[in-house]
Chain A
Amino acid sequence: MLKGKSEKKENIFLRFFAKIKSIFLILAHSSVATKLSCCFLGVGQIMRKQIIKGIIYAVLEVLFVLFMIFFGGNYIAKFLFSGHLGTQTEGSYWNEELGIYETVSGDNSFLILLYGVVSLVIVIFFVSVWVMNIKGSLANDRLLAEGKKLNSFKQDCSLFINQKFYVPLLVPPLIGLLVFTVLPTIFMVLIAFTNYDYQHLPPSKLFDWVGFANFGQLFSIAEGSGFLLVFLRVLLWTFVWAFIATFTNYFFGMILALMINKKGIKLKTLWRTLFVIAIAVPQFVTLLLMSKILDGDGILNKILGTTIYWLSDTRNASLLPRVIIILVNMWIGIPYTILMCSGILMNIPQQMYEAAKLDGANAWQLFIKIVLPYMMHVTGPYLITQFVGNINNFNVIWLLTGGGPGDNLLYGVGNAQSTDLLVTWLYRLTTDTNVQYNMASVIGIVIFVICATLSLITYNKTKAAKNEEDYQ
């Protein structure tokens, strides 16, 4: 077994080297134009009279070289090869030659990391341009050897609205994605391996790589700094919340949809509109309104003449605020389910109902044996997305309770509070006075792992992913 594995590994290595060797051989036997293209992008194309294409390649190379000289090279060196994120702290230093104190601006670890990542992405981009250039040149060689004519620039362009139409379609959105999602995500994942917190805030202080120490802190139970107990409490509540919130919204919504759509019920539009109007009110309005109504000295207590702290009662592990949050979430979420279920319920084949009724099934049996399985079959993936969405449901918690009430007994470390989900905790860690970007990143990675696992399970079970061409 083991032997087989190692052989396989060797195979991969051998194949890799064979591939590299063959690439070199191909290049060695290629034309002068291609060889020149390896160093000077675009020259090969210009020699073949593909002037515009060649100029574009050449300009890209010049830009890249300029970028590396004046900006990127410096940051890449510091980021990748120095092993530290800057060495020079800001402050005044004694200059012996002049005999005075000099103010030195110092390194900014944050910028080194950020620009390092940006430069790295640009390098990767350039390398792929380089490969594309050589491949293009090799293809030209082949065409010439076969005695065919090369594509003119116009022909190349017309390819982009035909066979290669996906290139212009995908490039702009993917660039947006790169800048606003990929770069920030890589950056924040890297932060998880540094000590970037309130004690190491640039520009006055440096932060540095610490390896897996933050993950160690998350899973340690050391007094005062170990996150584990608090983390487990927050995680447990996150799951309980996500489960109950998804479950209640789904089932009560479905039951209401069934009621509205039942034969013989009149005023269907009225009932539906009553609920659907709630969707039209922006969530932040509803949530802020609710949080003020339910406040300790809010209007509800004034009306009832009570002093119940609906959203800040810490007794019984903050049971009351948690129940209230779930109720408010039902107010927000159920209309969506009604809307969705109404559409699907109408698609249940009528014959199924009639056949069951002939067999003497009552309403309950109809629901359990026909409606529920059908709904679960159709909306199964939707349920999982809802569950994942609820794990990340920032708005409801943040606007209603702000994660509070605070409960120092159970949540001493890391400033977590008793209705905090992982996401709101993450947010608090990055906006608090004692910011801990590093721990926030670690929690972000944990959330990623949870969501990824859940989504992968469903994704593999969904037919949609496998049979995307079913209807075409």
Chain B
Amino acid sequence: MKSDVKKTKKALLGQRTRNGITNGLIYFVLATLGILWVLPIVFLLYTSLRVTPNTGIINQLFPDDLQLGFGNFARLFQETQFGIWLGNTFLVATCSCALTTLFILMVSYALSRMRFKLRKPIMNVMLVLGMFPGFMSMIAIYFILKAVGLTNSLFALILVYSGGAALSYYICKGFFDTIPRSLEEAAILDGASQWTICWRIIFPLSKPIIVYTILTSFISPWCDFIFVNVIINNTSPEKFTVALGLYRLINADKGSFNTNFTVFCAGAVIVGGIIAALFLSMQKYYVEGVTSGAVK
């Protein structure tokens, strides 16, 4: 009996040290990788603060005459139209976010909660449409917009971002699918119209997925630069969004990288800051959205 206790004690002790070793290893891995992940961000912050005279050209990480300050941020607002770009992006993001969210909610509500003859065909057609690469239609979209005289305007950008939004209804529909039908039936017995059910019962229950949809559709115009590149003229910088503006800042011509790199970093820090703030404050909903899309 006594030896048994001893044995288990010994085994436990062995396990504990083994556990300690694995935990140590894990801490080591996490710390190393964590540093690796943060390093580029630190580099970005650091470069945005560097005002070492007349550079842009960065050929030393720590030059002798290193100076830090907010000069790049000042240059960003004085020498470029970054303020306007921020305003543009905010406008486009807000409008397209509102439209996109509305469209997605409408489509997924109809396809999830209602039954009608064309439901399956519509879902199938949308499935097939989603498999064509978006770039393929981009040129055609450009010419359609040109035919109605809408290119080179922020309005066109809003339309393009939200026009095809209905295609990404899956996650939201998946969420609506999980709401019990009995709730609805009770309301119907009380004489509620479908509109009332949708507005008063289903939507209040769907806060996480609505926040998720709003969040993702608000963020995407801040990050996209391909559609902007096609729709907005390179010669009218007053219509750029931040993504295109920053891209042009260092890619406009061969020399622009060297003169503008630190300024670019300053702009990137501002944009990154905005998105990070949004994202981190809404992280809970984001996870819920992603997982409810995946757990299927």
Known: A114-B140, A289-B268. A275 touches B37 (CB 8 A): yes
Digitize A409-422: 1 where CB-to-B-CB distance is under 8 Å, 0 elsewhere.
00000000000000
Known: A265-B27, A378-B295. A290 touches B40 (CB 8 A): yes
Which of B141, B162, B290 is A339 in contact with, Cβ under 8 Å?
B290
Interface size bracket, A side: 35 or more
Question: Is there an interface contact between B147 and A277, defined as CB atoms closer than 8 Å?
Answer: no
Question: Is there an interface contact between A260 and B30, defined as CB atoms closer than 8 Å?
Answer: yes
A281 CB within 8 Å of chain B: yes
Known: A277-B276, A459-B127, A471-B178. A181 touches B137 (CB 8 A): yes
Question: Is there an interface contact between B127 and A455, defined as CB atoms closer than 8 Å?
Answer: yes
Least CB distance, A260 to chain B, in whole angstroms = 7
Name the CB-closest residue of B to A464.
B296
Cα A471 to Cα B226 with chains together (Å)? 40
Name the CB-closest residue of B to A424.
B135
Question: Is there an interface contact between B143 and A170, defined as CB atoms closer than 8 Å?
Answer: no
Interface size bracket, B side: 35 or more
CB-CB under 8 A from B58, the residues of chain A are 299, 302
Digitize A329-343: 1 where CB-to-B-CB distance is under 8 Å, 0 elsewhere.
001000110011011
Cα A398 to Cα B250 with chains together (Å)? 15
Name the CB-closest residue of A to B183.
A472
Cα A260 to Cα B29 with chains together (Å)? 10
Residues 78-120 of B at the A interface (beta carbon under 8 Å):
103-104, 106-107, 109-110, 112, 114, 116, 119
A468 CB within 8 Å of chain B: yes
Question: Is there an interface contact between B160 and A180, defined as CB atoms closer than 8 Å?
Answer: yes
CB-CB under 8 A from B154, the residues of chain A are none
Question: Is there an interface contact between B135 and A265, defined as CB atoms closer than 8 Å?
Answer: no
Known: A114-B147, A280-B272. A339 touches B286 (CB 8 A): yes
Residues 221-270 of A at the B interface (beta carbon under 8 Å):
256, 259-260, 262, 264-265
A85 CB within 8 Å of chain B: no
Name the CB-closest residue of B to A459.
B127
CB-CB under 8 A from A265, the residues of chain B are 23, 26-27, 30
A31 CB within 8 Å of chain B: no
B159 CB within 8 Å of chain A: yes
Known: A181-B164, A288-B247. A161 touches B194 (CB 8 A): yes
Least CB distance, A163 to chain B, in whole angstroms = 7
Question: Is there an interface contact between A165 and B110, defined as CB atoms closer than 8 Å?
Answer: yes
Residues 33-73 of B at the A interface (beta carbon under 8 Å):
33-34, 36-38, 40-41, 43-44, 58-61
Which of A165, A256, A274, A285 is B271 in contact with, Cβ under 8 Å?
A285
Least CB distance, A143 to chain B, in whole angstroms = 20
A109 CB within 8 Å of chain B: no
B206 CB within 8 Å of chain A: no
Which of B41, B178, B181, B286 is A281 in contact with, Cβ under 8 Å?
B41
Question: Is there an interface contact between B136 and A262, defined as CB atoms closer than 8 Å?
Answer: no
Question: Is there an interface contact between B140 and A284, defined as CB atoms closer than 8 Å?
Answer: no
Question: Is there an interface contact between A378 and B294, defined as CB atoms closer than 8 Å?
Answer: yes
Cα A18 to Cα B237 with chains together (Å)? 64
Known: A165-B194, A176-B103, A339-B290. A274 touches B38 (CB 8 A): yes
Which of A164, A264, A280, A472 is B19 in contact with, Cβ under 8 Å?
A264
Least CB distance, B128 to chain A, in whole angstroms = 7
Question: Is there an interface contact between A292 and B61, defined as CB atoms closer than 8 Å?
Answer: no
Question: Is there an interface contact between B26 and A185, defined as CB atoms closer than 8 Å?
Answer: no
Dominant SS among interface residues on chain A = helix
Cα A382 to Cα B30 with chains together (Å)? 25
B187 CB within 8 Å of chain A: no
Least CB distance, B147 to chain A, in whole angstroms = 7
CB-CB under 8 A from B109, the residues of chain A are 169
Cα A176 to Cα B100 with chains together (Å)? 10
CB-CB under 8 A from B251, the residues of chain A are 288
Task: Please choose the segment from A37-45, A315-323, A445-453 that sits at the chain B interface, where 4 or more of its residues have CB less than 8 A away.
Answer: A445-453
B283 CB within 8 Å of chain A: yes
Known: A182-B129, A185-B129. A262 touches B26 (CB 8 A): yes
Known: A162-B193, A169-B107. A180 touches B287 (CB 8 A): no
Digitize B120-151: 1 where CB-to-A-CB distance is under 8 Å, 0 elsewhere.
00100011110111111111110110010000
Which of A271, A285, A303, A340 is B61 in contact with, Cβ under 8 Å?
A303
Cα A448 to Cα B195 with chains together (Å)? 38
CB-CB under 8 A from B257, the residues of chain A are 292
Digitize B174-212: 1 where CB-to-A-CB distance is under 8 Å, 0 elsewhere.
100111110000000000011100100000000000000
Question: Is there an interface contact between B222 and A282, defined as CB atoms closer than 8 Å?
Answer: yes
Cα A285 to Cα B47 with chains together (Å)? 13
Question: Is there an interface contact between A173 and B144, defined as CB atoms closer than 8 Å?
Answer: no
On A, residues with C-beta under 8 Å from B are 110-111, 114-115, 158, 161-166, 169-170, 172-174, 176-177, 179-185, 187-188, 256, 259-260, 262, 264-265, 271, 273-286, 288-290, 292-293, 299, 302-303, 331, 335-336, 339-340, 342-344, 363, 378-379, 381-382, 388, 392, 394-395, 398, 423, 426-427, 430, 437, 440-441, 444, 447-448, 451-452, 455, 459, 462-464, 468-472
A-B contact pairs, 9 of them (CB 8 A): A166-B114, A172-B106, A179-B144, A185-B140, A188-B136, A260-B30, A264-B19, A276-B280, A282-B223
Additional A-B contact list (12), CB under 8 Å, known A271-B30, A448-B131: A111-B147, A169-B106, A173-B106, A188-B132, A284-B243, A289-B265, A299-B58, A340-B287, A379-B295, A381-B294, A440-B136, A451-B133
